[in-house]
Amino acid sequence: MDKLINQGTAWAALKKHQKYLAPVHLRDLFALDSQRFERFSIETCGLFLDYSKNRLTNDTLTLLQHLATEANLADWIARMFQGEKINNTERRAALHIALRNRSNCPISVDGKDVMYDVNAVLAKMRLFSNAVRDGKWRGYTGKPIESIVNIGIGGSDLGPAMVTRALNTYHHPRLQSYFVSNVDGAHLSETLAKLDPETSLFIIASKTFTTQETMLNARSARQWLINKLGNDKAVAKHFVAISTATQKVTEFGIDSAHQFEFWDWVGGRYSLWSAIGLPIALMIGQDNFEQLLDGAHELDKHFETAPLLKNLPVLMGLIDVWYSSFWGATTQAILPYDYTLALFPAYLQQLVMESLGKRVTREGNRVDYPTSSIIWGAPGNNGQHAFYQLLHQGTHLVPADFIIALDSQHDLPGHQEAVLSNALAQTHALMMGRNIEETRAELEILKSTSLQKGEIGKFDKLPHRVFPGNQPTNTLLYKKLTPAVLGKLIALYEHKVFVQSVCWGINPFDQWGVELGKQVASILLPTLQTDQEKTAHLGYDSSTKGLLNYIKIYRSR
């Protein structure tokens, strides 16, 4: 059995170091070092990261660097960029970086340079998106397209939906986008109710073209279109597909001219840079889509070449490892103070938890340390009036990323200052807290003014008004959320996840849990579809059998 990372010397040293740092409050670290902000902040690729409000010192970083070195991080980064089959359980490369390899240097998989195919698909996307946007691509009855409906789920939905939402100020004025993912017919039917079949374009996005939810939604949408337009020939003008399974797409009835290909070396949750990004390109134009790729490429270059402790994804990844593996943090909050990033936390939930929610190493050995944090979050100001209470006074250690745009996408006076001041006030308060003496002093002032006004306040509730502080945060700033900046931001988190996976020795590019869900759903569905009332013969547990029978009896009435 290969040695687990926690049996190495760096892990032991970090454990010892954590014990030393555990009683130290963040406010003490700031008091001890007037240069702390300068020391623990970094600006690169147009992103500024202040990581000074974390429970760390120079020694922590040195030890984390040792951990990264013991895990051969630099080697693994090189292996990913060289197209090695680092997704060992699926025997695939993980080459999302090739999809945005704007310098076009050759990248080989099985001896073949993939850049030719990557560029050919980008060119096909350009032709198609231009035709739709310019109104040259017409629907079956001759009208230009007005609604773009992406049907896909998981990696074939969350990334494009998040980016399309984030870049809504770049949308084509005639076009409206919809993302249908849920197999509950409510999602599709609510969407169809808003559509004019003559002006709607459906994109069926599925890497495998077998996913139950997507295929059912696709078939229902096709039937709806045929019913509305009265001819199945209409499908050719209103349906395109994005998949690695071109044969299955043809069998579905979409001809090869309307298929956009990608490849098995692109993981679902890493695929928004591929043809899966077609709904983005349609909404914001191929030039802007390629700026998203340019931004990601700039971050890729940084990740590939910068020294470990000057490397943004490495720093953020190591800080996460520090909290998960040494401080027992089980969750991480993602708090964008940029409303256009409303879907970013949901997108990151998949990226992080599907990649790092693993319990065995690459070699299949059981790990005996926690891996992925549980990711959650919401746009900042809304969260302040909801769950921040737990961050301020609850019992959990919750490291949080504050993601902040300096410039807004609008020109309403006064709003951006409110956003910025709220964000900074929160990270300050979360770090400092308010100790008992400060609380008492504040209450004394309050008491005297209230008594002067003749009010009788409840001034004895001192412990309820104390805030422990010491909650760690990263503050990530950028000027404005352009396509290029968004590309950098996403690439930053993708690589941060990779750094964590290397430290923990796990494969971040497979998802056997998702596969299990697909497998069990396809086995159970036929039993619900049969008329047979009882399902006693099936090999399910008594609870599942009982529920199946309950549902079948109810539905048969």
Minimum Å gap between C-beta 113 and ligand G6Q is: 25
- Tell me the residue number closest to ligand G6Q, measured at CB: 154
Contacts of 137 (CB under 8 A, 6+ apart): 128, 131, 144, 145, 201
Nearer Cβ to ligand G6Q, position 267 or 317? 267
Minimum Å gap between C-beta 347 and ligand G6Q is: 11
Closest by CA to 6, choosing from 72, 76, 67, is 67
Rg, C-alpha atoms of the chain: 26
Closest by CA to 181, choosing from 216, 146, 207, is 216
How distant is the alpha carbon of residue 433 from its chain centre? 30
38 is catalytic: no
146, 198, 290, 354: which one is catalytic?
354
| CA–CA separation, 548 and 256 (whole Å) | 41
124, 171, 447, 518: which one is catalytic?
518
- Identify the helix (H) or strand (E) that includes residue 176: strand 176-180
Largest CA distance in the chain: 84
Nearer Cβ to ligand G6Q, position 269 or 297? 269
Closest by CA to 314, choosing from 302, 332, 326, 323, is 302
Minimum Å gap between C-beta 222 and ligand G6Q is: 16
| CA–CA separation, 211 and 216 (whole Å) | 8
Minimum Å gap between C-beta 156 and ligand G6Q is: 4
The torsion angles phi and psi of 172, rounded to 5 degrees, stand at -65, 135
Minimum Å gap between C-beta 163 and ligand G6Q is: 15
Nearer Cβ to ligand G6Q, position 133 or 495? 495
DSSP helix/strand/coil, 480: coil
Minimum Å gap between C-beta 354 and ligand G6Q is: 6
Nearer Cβ to ligand G6Q, position 245 or 481? 245
Q: Do the bridges between strand 239-243 and strand 259-261 make them parallel or antiparallel, or are there none, so unpaired? A: parallel
Contacts of 60 (CB under 8 A, 6+ apart): 14, 17, 21, 322
DSSP H stretches of helix in 453-541? 483-504, 512-529
Nearer Cβ to ligand G6Q, position 199 or 244? 244
DSSP helix/strand/coil, 33: coil
Nearer Cβ to ligand G6Q, position 41 or 246? 246
Q: Which residue has the tokens 């009982």?
A: 546
Nearer Cβ to ligand G6Q, position 355 or 439? 355
- Identify the helix (H) or strand (E) that includes residue 476: strand 473-478
How distant is the alpha carbon of residue 459 from its chain centre? 45
Q: Beta-strand (E) ranges in 287-415?
A: 331-337, 374-377, 400-405
| CA–CA separation, 435 and 446 (whole Å) | 16
Q: Do the bridges between strand 473-478 and strand 47-50 make them parallel or antiparallel, or are there none, so unpaired? A: antiparallel
Residues facing residue 180 across a β-bridge: 151
354 is catalytic: yes
Minimum Å gap between C-beta 116 and ligand G6Q is: 24
The torsion angles phi and psi of 553, rounded to 5 degrees, stand at -65, -45
| CA–CA separation, 68 and 449 (whole Å) | 56
Nearer Cβ to ligand G6Q, position 399 or 508? 508
438 is catalytic: no
Minimum Å gap between C-beta 515 and ligand G6Q is: 8
Minimum Å gap between C-beta 214 and ligand G6Q is: 5
Q: How many CB atoms are closer than 10 A to CB 455?
A: 10
136, 385, 458, 464: which one is catalytic?
385
Using CB under 6 A, list all residues that contact ligand G6Q: 153-156, 206-208, 211, 214, 267-269, 354, 511, 514
Nearer Cβ to ligand G6Q, position 7 or 247? 247
Q: Which residues are catalytic?
A: 354, 385, 518
